Every structure is written in C-alpha cells, then in structure tokens.
Amino acid sequence: MIQIDTEFFLPVLPRPHRKVNFILVGAGGTGGYLAEDVCRLIVQLQQNEKKANLTIIDGDNVEPKNIARQNYQPSEISFPKAQCLATRCSAKYGVEVTAISDWFSPNHVENYKWNTLTIIIGCVDNAAARAEIHSCLKYNSPRDEQADLFWLDCGNSSLSGQVILGTHADFNIVSASNNPDKPAFWKHLPSPALVHPELLIPKPEELSSNNLSCAEIQILNHQTLFINRMTSAIASQYLLELTLIGKISKFVSYFNLIPMSCRSI
C-alpha cells in the first residue's frame, strides 16, 4: 500500500483540454444516480464552452429487486440498464449519452486523444471489473506530462465507503509533481488499486462458482438504502473540481453514515 501524508495541500492539475469524455462503468446502485449528476455537470461544462459526453457501460438488465435501491422505474424492468439510463438522461438534460450494454474492457477507452480529458468512473462491485480499469492506467500519459486519463473508483459497503482518484498504475512519486525539489502541483496520482490493493482481490461471493448477480451481491453485503446516493454525491464533487474548476486538492475520501463523517486525504 502507498501511504502519502503531507502537511500542506498541493492541487492535482489535469492536462489542459477542451473536451471531457466521461465513461461510467457500472449502472447499479451508485452508477444509476451518478449518471444524472454527470449529465448536470456536462450541462455546466457546455455553458463554459467545453465539449463533454457520457458513455454508460453495463451488461445487466433492470430487475424488480433493483427498483427500491437503484435509480430505475418499474416500467424499465427487463430492459438493459445502460440503455434505460442513457435514454432517460439524454432526454432530460439534452446531452449526448451513449449506452453500451456489455461488460467493460480496455477497448472501450481511446487513449491519447488530442485536447481531451478522459475519466473512467468505476461504480462496480467486483475485483475483475476493477482489474480491467486498472489495466487502462498502464498506458497513461508519460511521466513528464500531466495526466489526461483518470480513474475515479467508487466503493461502499453497508454504511461506509470511499472514493479514490488515480491516474497511473506505475506511479512514481519523484516524477509525480512538476518539480520534485519545490513542487507546486501534482501531475500524477497512484492508481486506486495501488492505494488499496484489496480492490483487486475477489471476495468469496464474486467467485465464478457462486454465479451471483450484482443485486444479489449487494444483498449479501447488506447495503443500507441511501449509501449509494452518498457515494454518488461525493464522487460528483470530485468530478466537478477536476473538470469544471480544473484542479482538485484531494485524492481519497472515506465516509461513514453512522457519525455522518467524511475524511479526505
């Protein structure tokens, strides 16, 4: 595990860009709510003369047990989650939303697009999907340049969770700032899987022999009714600061609903 403690804050600055590609991986409990928040952010980015679009990737269909906990309606049962969200969000906010009713792979990410910032938003609940996202960071921008590919990982259990922002699978703290001797800002961040390696370790219920759906895994983990909306709210603020403001001074946030606390590094 990488442990980084500092006595002062330095902002993380992405590479200058005029377009933002949001790739939302997972349209379940957190992703279903976060899709609408991303669309609201896209509207604001467009008003600031930036181009932005959203791609939603999920291979599941809406099930009856999703209705209470996730952002779906009874009329959408049996339809693909990605398509339901994309159609509804595009109509509601008037923005470009693409649906991919399949499981994520690195082929869904186009690297080194000129003048473009790409943010993969991971709202998945299994190690295999996180490993696919982590592998994308192996091909990020060179160490002497600011990152143009970010992974925002969103995870939660019953009453607590974390949001982690990262850029590089081969993170090197010496070359991560603009000047190692007198740094003014960070160019790179460690991949979420370097900060918390256990994100890539499958839980017993994720093993293929169990053959459980995402909804069934959520039931096993006893998620409370509103934990996903809390996760979405914190992740949305990360996205706003990174894209609309253009800098962010945190890369990990831990929260708990019992004391209603949130601590960021």
pLDDT band at residue 111 under the 50/70/90 scheme: low
Give yes or no for residue 218 having a pLDDT over 90.
no
Rounded (5°) CA angle 63-231-119:
95
What pTM does this model have?
0.91
141-172 per-position pLDDT tens digit: 887 899 999 999 999 988 999 999 999 999 99
Cα–Cα distance for residue pair 157/186, rounded to 1 Å: 30
What is the average pLDDT value for the chain, to the nearest integer? 91
Whether the per-residue pLDDT at 1 is higher than 60: the answer is no
Question: What's the confidence (pLDDT) of residue 114?
Answer: 82
Q: What is the rounded average pLDDT of the residues 184-197?
A: 96
State how far the Cα of 227 lies from the Cα of 155, in Å rounded to an integer.
Answer: 10
Predicted local distance difference test score (pLDDT) of residue 208 = 58
Angle (nearest 5°) at CA 229 between 152 and 34: 45
CATH of domain 19-264: 3.40.50.720
Q: What tens digit of pLDDT does each residue of 52-89 get?
A: 999 999 999 999 999 999 999 999 999 999 999 999 99
96-108 per-position pLDDT tens digit: 999 999 999 999 9
How large is the average pLDDT for residues 202-218?
Answer: 64
Checking if the pLDDT of 215 tops 80, the result is no
CA distance 200 to 219: 21
Measure the CA dihedral 196/85/232/217, to 10°. Answer: -50
Predicted pLDDT at 5:
54
pLDDT at 153: 98
Q: Give me the residue spans of the domains in the chain.
A: 19-264
Residue type, position 107, single letter: N
3-state helix, strand, coil in the chain (%, to 5): 35, 20, 45
